[in-house]
Every structure is written in C-alpha cells, then in structure tokens.
Amino acid sequence: MTPQAVFELLQRQRDTFHSGATRSVAARRALLDRLDAAIRRHEAALFAALKEDLGKSEFEAYTSEVGLVYKEIKHARKRLARWSRPRRVRTDLHNWPGSSRLYPEPYGVCLIIAPWNYPVQLLLSPLVGAVAAGNTAVVKPSEVSAATASVLQAMFDDCFEPVTVASVCGDAEFTSRLLDEPWDKIFFTGSVPVGRIVMEKAARRLTPVTLELGGKSPVIVDRSANLGYTARKIVWGKYLNAGQTCVAPDYLLVEGADRAAELVALMRATITDFYGGDPLAAEEGSRIINERHFQRLNAMLRDEAPIFGGRSDPARRRIEPTIVFPADPAHPSMADEIFGPILPVIPRDSFDDCVAFARERPKPLAAYLFSESRANQDRFLAEVPCGGGGINTVVLHVASTHLPFGGVGPSGLGSYHGKASFDAFTHWKGILRQSSRLELKVAYPGREPSLSAVRKLMG
Ligand code: NAD
C-alpha cells in the first residue's frame, strides 16, 4: 500500500467517524457482531494458519487466541451501553449552581499494531475495545506470522467496509511510515525497542498511545511453596507456545539451593509427564517463529552452564523444554527477554535476596510468587513492581476480562481487556454544565466577596 493510499484510507475513516456512523450503541454492537461472525466464518482458516506459522494445536489456537477474542466481544457487547453512559460526579460548591459529568468520547481513527506470537488475539482484542468505544480502526498484523496475516487480511476484506475497519499488511518500514500519519490513537503491542520508536513518532503529533511491551518476568519461589503444584504451573506457563508468550515466566528465583534442586527435579518430571520422554519427536508441538529467533535461542545454550533439555530440531525449528540450573545471573539467557523455551533457575539464599534481585531490574510486564506464606505474599505485593501477575499462578491473569492488563515503565504504558479496553480507546471528557437562568455574579470584577470568605469555601 502506498503512503498516499494509507493517507486516503485514513481520511475516509475520519469522514466515517465524523458522520457519526460508529457512535450509537446499536452501531457498535453491530460491528462487534460482525467481528464475531467474521472470526467464526474464518476460524478453520485461522487455525490452519496458526499451525503453519507457530505449530499451534487447534486446542491452543482456540484457548489462547480466538476463544479469548470471543470472550472479549461477548463481555463488551453485554456491557457497552452501560460503559457508554455519561457518569455524573459531584460538583464543587464554588461551581454551584451546576452539574458535572464525564462524557466518553471515542478518539476517532485508531491504529492497532500487533506482534507475531499471538497474532490473532493481540490484533483483535484491542480492536474489540476500539469498536466498542465507537472508533474507526486500521489494524496492522505482524508480517512475521505471514500465513495468519494473510487470513486476517482476507477476513477483513470479506467482512468489513474499509471506511470503518480495515486491515493493512506490511513490514517494519511500512509500519514506520504508517506511524507518520495523523492517527487519533495508536495501540501497539510488541518489543521494547519498537515501542520506543512508536512513542517517539507519536510524540511528534502528541498522539495518545497504549504500549503493550515485554521484558523479563520473574517468578519467585519461597521456602513455603508447594513445589509439586509450582512445578506444574510453571512448566505449563513457560513452555506454552514454546515460551513465546509475553507474560511467560522468564526466570526463576528460588529461596534455598536445596529447594531449587528439588523444584528442578519436579519440573523435569512434569516436562516428561506433559510432553513425553522425547518432546522433539512428538507429532504436535509449538515451534520457534523463524530462523533468526531459532539461532538467537540456540546461542544462549552454547554457554557452559548445566542444562536439562537443550536439544533442537532445525528442520522443524523446535527446541525442547530446557532448564538452565543452577543459572548464574551473568548467563546469556539473563541478558534480555528470552521469549523461548529456556528457563534459567537462580537459587538465592533468602526471600529478601529474591525480592531485591527482582526489584533491581527494570519493571517487568508480569511478576509471580509461589508461596504459602501470607506475610511473603504481602511483601511481594508491596515490594516487587510489575505490570500485573499472579500469586501461586502464572500467565492466567491475561485471560481475565476483569483485570486490566498492561505493563509499567519499560514494559508498557496503559492497559486493556474488558472495560479497560473501552477506556483505552476513550477520552473521558469532564464537562461542567451551568444555566443562564441561575447566574451567580459574585466572581465578576467589582462584585467579589471578601478573600477570607473565598478561603473558607475553597480551603
Ligand atoms: P516487534 O516489536 O518486532 O513487532 C511488533 C510490530 O511492530 C509488528 O507488526 C512489526 O511489523 C512492527 N515493527 C517492527 N519493527 C518496526 C519498526 N522499526 N518500526 C515500526 N514498526 C515496526 O515485536 P515481535 O517480535 O512481533 O513480538 C515480540 C515482542 O512483543 C516481545 O518483546 C514480547 O514481549 C512483546 N509482546 C508483548 C505483549 C503484551 O501484551 N505486552 C504481547 C505479545 C508480545
């Protein structure tokens, strides 16, 4: 698509927005219904594409991709009339007589940019928020998950008027040019370096942004944790989608070397239980998205550190569930977000050490604690900053329509899911309404009350 064509698309969407066609609750519901029907009609093709791009099984494609979008649509559809109502708030005495309300105003023409790891869900869930809030939208799937991008493109071409909702495909350079256009809101999901580019470009026009980024999400396991349970939860959350999950446990901090060894033994047994004795030989299994990432991950395993697993199959771009233990904080896997099926386990002497280790690093997208101690749970909540996370669980907070999901600082800006998605695409404008029939003239020049009376009123 040429820059001129993008510009024209944006102008046409702006015309649609200004016509009010997307604003009524009925219109928003109709668009949500249309999205739901479009996904259902293309579901089989999306499953096939997700298998081709990432080796996702149908079960995983449903539970972690389209099923979550259906849930978001259903949730928003049911509540959006309530969400869209102006909210009455109190009016300060000095503004009397009058009334104060918050009015939800859709931003206008929105750009949604998605990554490749959950290429359906991370494109369509934000779109649910954009549409529910009354915006028009242009979505840009990741070119890296190419098969899925092409099904999504066909789905949008089939089911939507581009003047309301359109999909455009392209690489980094194309996306970079997209960012130069005058969007009213940009919603970006992807890596920290590209998030920085998005924010810089948005800053030039002061365009509001939501940034859903990544980072190294720690898991702390204290002495009181139920290790069998912990092993199963972590193995599930870490190796889902071959570790290519933004909120996957990135590394483990375990209180006590003896407990760390015990947990690693349990995780190895769990890997065998979940994926069989030879995970690489299994017919089904998630794969690494491309050669570059496959090489990047294998390079982390050339270190001397003891490794469990670590074999890979270049032909199918698969790496078996791998644990590095005991991992040194200087191990190559500890440099950046791993985003693959490699799990460093770092023993620490005390719970204090674990907390300090996590806290000294950039604020992560997620942090997790496994503990039976209420005191340690409270300390974790008070002392470990993160976008979100879980206690005695991993990853699942992302699947909630009631918990706003997002990062903080380097892991992101803003949040979405459920009502938070509606708010991410809405400006709540505060309006004070007064009446010409009840005019208090005391603030006008020459009629002011004494300053001491005003002080009493305003504090
Ligand atoms: P990425 O940042 O490389 O790409 C994301 C999108 O940005 C793609 O659509 C791509 O075309 C575009 N893009 C790439 N380079 C660009 C550039 N120079 N200028 C403009 N646009 C550009 O991310 P990825 O590799 O697709 O995804 C992996 C990353 O995303 C990980 O860091 C992961 O943690 C993060 N992530 C975050 C979440 C979340 O919800 N917070 C979810 C999934 C993935």
- Does residue 120 have a pLDDT over 90? yes
Sheet holding 99-106, edge to edge: 87-89, 99-106, 426-433
Looking at every residue in the chain, the average pLDDT score rounds to 96
Per-residue pLDDT, averaged over 146-175, amounts to 96
336 Cα to the center of ligand 1, angstroms: 15
Q: Are residues 142 and 246 in the same domain?
A: no
Q: 224 in a domain, yes or no?
A: yes
CATH for 372: 3.40.309.10
Q: 439 in a domain, yes or no?
A: no
Ligand 1 within 6 A of CB of 190: yes
Q: 423 in a domain, yes or no?
A: yes
- Does residue 183 have a pLDDT over 90? yes
Q: 456 in a domain, yes or no?
A: no
Last residue of a domain, one of 366, 389, 406: 406
Ligand 1 within 6 A of CB of 213: yes
Q: Are residues 397 and 426 in the same domain?
A: no
Ligand 1 within 6 A of CB of 332: no
Counted domains in the chain: 2
Q: Taking the CA atoms of 8, 13, 14 and 19 in sequence, report the sign of the dihedral they define.
A: positive
Q: Are residues 330 and 348 in the same domain?
A: yes
211 Cα to the center of ligand 1, angstroms: 10
d(CA 261, CA 137): 50
Q: 25 in a domain, yes or no?
A: yes
Q: Are residues 230 and 196 in the same domain?
A: no
pLDDT tens digits along 373-396: 999 999 999 999 999 999 999 999
- Does residue 432 have a pLDDT over 90? yes
Helices (H), 116-191: 121-132, 146-159, 172-178
- Does residue 289 have a pLDDT over 80? yes
457 confidence band (pLDDT: 50, 70, 90) = confident
- What percentage of residues in the chain have a pLDDT greater than 90? 90
Q: 452 in a domain, yes or no?
A: no
* Domain carrying residue 287: 218-406
425 Cα to the center of ligand 1, angstroms: 20
246 catalytic? Reply is yes
212 catalytic? Reply is yes
pLDDT tens digits along 195-223: 999 999 999 999 999 999 999 999 999 99
Report the atom number in ligand 1 closest to the C-alpha of 144. 26
- pTM (two decimals): 0.96
- In 158-227 the beta strands, taken as DSSP E runs, fall at 165-167, 185-189, 209-212, 218-221
Q: Are residues 160 and 296 in the same domain?
A: no
Please tell me whether residue 222 adopts helix, strand or coil conformation.
coil
Q: Are residues 235 and 104 in the same domain?
A: no
Catalytic entry in 65, 169, 181, 246 = 246
162 Cα to the center of ligand 1, angstroms: 24
Q: 84 in a domain, yes or no?
A: yes
**What's the pLDDT at 126?**
98
Q: Are residues 100 and 180 in the same domain?
A: yes
Q: Are residues 261 and 360 in the same domain?
A: yes
Ligand 1 within 6 A of CB of 212: yes
Q: Among 124-128, 348-352, 370-374, 452-456, whose mean pLDDT is lowest?
A: 452-456
Question: In this predicted model, which residue has the larger pLDDT, 213 or 452?
Answer: 213
Q: 449 in a domain, yes or no?
A: no
Ligand 1 within 6 A of CB of 142: yes
d(CA 189, CA 201): 15
**What's the pLDDT at 449?**
79
Ligand 1 within 6 A of CB of 114: yes
Q: Are residues 201 and 254 in the same domain?
A: no
144 Cα to the center of ligand 1, angstroms: 10
**What's the pLDDT at 240?**
95
Q: Are residues 261 and 200 in the same domain?
A: no
CATH for 185: 3.40.605.10
Per-residue pLDDT, averaged over 173-187, amounts to 96
Q: Are residues 205 and 326 in the same domain?
A: no
**What's the pLDDT at 256?**
98
Q: Are residues 296 and 391 in the same domain?
A: yes
